[in-house]
Structure 1
């Protein structure tokens, strides 16, 4: 092992220009920890939220929540992985933007040999998000109808495939005709180009005025009110991101007036806080990947030293599918 690892850190929150590199000591894993050598790192909106200040974090701080690599050493009490294992994680303390690191072993799962490091790094956080959206947030079954925003992104393309594999009708929205075609190719039943159409009117047309059973909204401020208008009475709104900005406060009586709607704002990290649950969720995801139901689409690859460029591309919605950083 090397004594230090090149690591991305921020000393203040702001634009991509605040991203810095430093050589940080790696050290040996303590009890309940593992030391990993990263082969691929995932890029996610939460990284942008932490960098920009939308999510307040103690500073200085490393960034990155998702990666895949090889276990170099394990600490006392770690039994589910061993030295030499291929592993991946999506969660745990930030710090994935690095060549190597020590981290809690509970967040780490074994990566099947059939899944590449890049696919593992691209799929963990996004794929586990899709797993909890479809499996753990609200009961969904074949024949249900879901509206999914930002369907050409990393989470979106996985969700389109997951829905198709479960017989769930997924209506996608995306910001261009090209991105709509991508969503359709990945399993969306219908796609709405939000640059050319009013998505609320289109959803009402596609559902015969009924509305959808569930909305999955990672966009936030720009789509929140319209998303509520797309729901059937007693429908469920899942707000799980804020790529367009934080949803402003609103009157809870709105939910009653629009049909006794339900609203939740979940976080993946709550779902995977228990290591055993995390491994179960990952096994479900890997099974979907292994049988071909869900395939990861990596639309962009950047070197780790191009991390600022990668952040700019994601913020500008100039990416499709998942993005990985290569240390």
Structure 2
């Protein structure tokens, strides 16, 4: 991307979008455009097309999405499939109609089959059943991938689809009912420490394994791929290592300085047993994650502490 290119970051206030915006600014890009959801409803195509026509965008990072953990996905399946289909369809088509040079679509590793062989290769997409707890979200993301690929095939566009593993970092969602596992653990353990509670209950058995990528590493990968990747196939972004939820909880407990007990409610769902992505493709291009999990959790916890009053009010 040229330094003076007009770059639109959709979803700039979220975990991923804010990290991409920080990375762009740190890399010297100044011709950036973004809008809050109150200023631009991405579910409304007329608003989206009008925005693209007015702003004359060259590049798009499509990080806007309705996201959440197991509880949110289970409670609001219609919202997840509807809103995500609308957002990505409107942005991708508006980008096409206004001749945007290149678009990067952020997917998710939940697109892969629940029981996919590990580590998960890109070619495993659509080879088995999805995890039921987030199927509507996953189907929307798969539709976004196929839309990018179809526009590339029919119209010769340059739309790439990036599949990040589980993310965390600044601007994460720490809502206990709607967040993902890591921010939820950070908040629960912190509040247990503050309230001198003797134990913290964790959903599930603690045995599932997950891979965690810091949002700043993902942002670095997104800029790298925008400059170095044009294939029609999806591409994974991860660290290449996973950790059990039990070991993750122990790490959070250590970072927070909590001395109570961690208990596991096995009546609650575990979700996918393991989810580790194969990062061979992006590694061969020359990109590797840089932020170790323990250091990343410490920085995420510090961000939580700095914004605690706003998060919990």
> What is the TM-score normalised by the length of structure 1?
0.33
In terms of fraction of residues, the more helix-rich structure is 2
> What is the TM-score normalised by the length of structure 2?
0.34
- The one of the two structures with greater contact order (alpha-carbon pairs below 8 A, sep at least 6) is 2
